[in-house]
Amino acid sequence: MLFKILLLALVIGGVYYFFIKKKPLPKETETMVECDKCGTYVSTKEAIIKDGKYYCSKECAGVKG
Ligand SMILES: [Zn+2]
Report how far ligand 1's centroid is from the alpha carbon of 26 (Å): 22
Report how far ligand 1's centroid is from the alpha carbon of 43 (Å): 12
Q: What stretches in the chain show pLDDT beneath 50?
A: none
> What pLDDT does residue 4 have?
93
Whole-model pTM over 0.85 = no
- What CA–CA distances, in Å, run from 30 to 7, 25, 26? 36, 9, 6
> What pLDDT does residue 12 have?
93
CA angle 45, 47, 50 (to 5 degrees): 125
> What pLDDT does residue 24 have?
63
* Residues less than 5 Å from ion ligand 1, measured at CB: 35, 37-38, 40, 56, 60
- What CA–CA distances, in Å, run from 51 to 24, 39, 55? 30, 17, 10
Please check whether residue 48 is in contact with residue 58, taking contact to mean a CB–CB distance below 8 angstroms.
Answer: yes
